[in-house]
Amino acid sequence: MKHLLIIFSILLLSSPVIADNHKGETLYLWKTSSGDVWKGFGEKDIHPEYKGDVENGKPNGLGVIINTNKVKYVGEWRDGKKQGQGTFTYGKGKWEGEKYEGEFKDGYRHGQGTYTWSDGDKYVGEFKDDKPNGKGTYTWSDGRKYEGEFEDGIKHGQGTWTSIKGYKYVGEWRENKSWNGKEYDKKGNIIGKYVNGVKIIEEPVVVVEKKPMVVVEKRQTGVLFRRWENRQWRWFRNGNKKKDRKYVGDIRNGGPNGQGTLIFPDGDKYVGKFKDGVYHGQGTYTFHDGAKYVGEFKDGKVWNGTVYNGNLEYKIVNGK
């Protein structure tokens, strides 16, 4: 009889019924002032429901959780957090229909994975802290594609963008913008380039023949922004068109030189010649109320021309 009691005691100690490691259990996630707490009871309409492997009172191993708006995660867990391989599918709400399949770490998308949007866009590559970080490929539903480096969810680093017609930009990106690189047509010919975020189009504008050589003068075309900084007006390669003055046209020595257009935030606009960053030559300045000046500018000032304002018009001669 004594031997039977010993054997029975050993069987009880080795039984999974009393071990803190269970499969197929149900837990509920409670939100408290001190953080998330897993409990063995709850209401589906209020608390996200977990079914799967449990250890030390938390999800550990394989399991499924579904929250109140049908967001669902199926995959691996560690100490109550998503960890390892899994699939996260959004339910009702802003991101309905979107899905992530891949690696998780400490509850976040982290490692290799694939994120698919409801409109058909897709990203395949590296994630860190829930965002694309590292190398990856983003494919739009219309066929456009970017292959390269990402930082915090945006294009940043080296990469290649391809249009649906086969045109490409190859080079450096900064904060989602083309920075230092070249543009190619579908035949592989260079059609433009970016230098420090400014698009440069090189095209012959003046050809002077002097045998046995041909001299070709080149023009740079790009975009600049003008704003008040450090007690002076300055030109910048990046800006805000709602706050800054935006220039599109010929550029030399870091400023407008040649033909261009300057648009003001309030709706005023100048179209004409520039020299060393100011109006100089023939041009038209149109005010946001419809009035305009047409004629010659000199060193940034009206010089010889006509002002039109409704049915009224008057001449300006030598700046007066």
Mean of all residue pLDDT scores within the chain: 87
Buried b (16+ CB within 10 A) or exposed e, 18-50: eeeeeeebebbbeeeeeeeebeeebeeeebbbb
CB 91 within 8 A of CB 79: no
Domain locations in the chain as residue ranges: 11-88, 214-316
pLDDT exceeds cutoff 90 at 199 = no
| % of the chain at pLDDT higher than 90 | 68
Spatial separation of the C-alpha atoms in residues 189 and 203, rounded to whole Å: 14
Pick 306 or 213 by higher pLDDT: 306
Q: Which CATH architecture has domain 214-316?
A: Single Sheet (2.20)
Per-residue pLDDT tens over the stretch 82-99: 999 999 999 888 889 999
Per-residue pLDDT tens over the stretch 2-13: 443 433 343 333
The confidence score (pLDDT) of residue 21 equals: 59
pLDDT exceeds cutoff 60 at 212 = no
Asked whether the whole model's pTM tops 0.85, one would answer no
Q: Name the nearest CA neighbour of 113 among 125, 130, 105.
A: 125
Q: Name the nearest CA neighbour of 60 among 48, 49, 76, 40.
A: 76
| % of the chain at pLDDT higher than 70 | 87
